[in-house]
């Protein structure tokens, strides 16, 4: 199925839907796909700093964090 065929198929299927909640969900998906995220200078700097820390091995894995949390929770 080509992209054009898929678009036509989706348009046809959407036109048959009468459930407003379902249509709102589709709208949310479409809005999310087309949303442009604008970052501030500070946010870009924080992301760059985080990437540098990861490259230097300065991070903790989710498993390590979970273990630390479990230890902390057991102590309290």
- Domain spans of the chain? 3-34, 41-75
* Residue that wins the pLDDT comparison between 52 and 34: 52
Q: In this predicted structure, what is the pLDDT of residue 33?
A: 81
pLDDT in tens, 9-51: 999 999 999 999 999 999 999 988 877 788 999 999 999 999 9
pTM value is 0.46
In angstroms, the CA 24 to CA 47 distance is: 33
Q: In this predicted structure, what is the pLDDT of residue 36?
A: 78
Q: In this predicted structure, what is the pLDDT of residue 4?
A: 95
Q: C-alpha angle with apex 47: 45 to 49, nearest 5 degrees?
A: 70
Q: In this predicted structure, what is the pLDDT of residue 37?
A: 81
In angstroms, the CA 50 to CA 58 distance is: 9
Residues 6+ away with beta carbon under 8 Å from 23: 14, 17
Q: In this predicted structure, what is the pLDDT of residue 34?
A: 72
Count of alpha carbons within 13 Å of 58, Cβ hemisphere only?
Answer: 6
């Amino acid at each position: 199925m080509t992209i054009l065929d898929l678009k036509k198929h989706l348009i046809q299927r959407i036109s048959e839907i009468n459930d407003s909640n379902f249509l709102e969900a589709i709208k949310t998906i479409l809005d999310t796909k087309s949303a442009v995220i604008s970052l501030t200078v500070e946010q870009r700097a924080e992301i760059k700093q985080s990437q540098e820390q990861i490259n230097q091995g300065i991070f903790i894995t989710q498993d390590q964090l979970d273990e630390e949390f479990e230890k902390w929770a057991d102590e309290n």
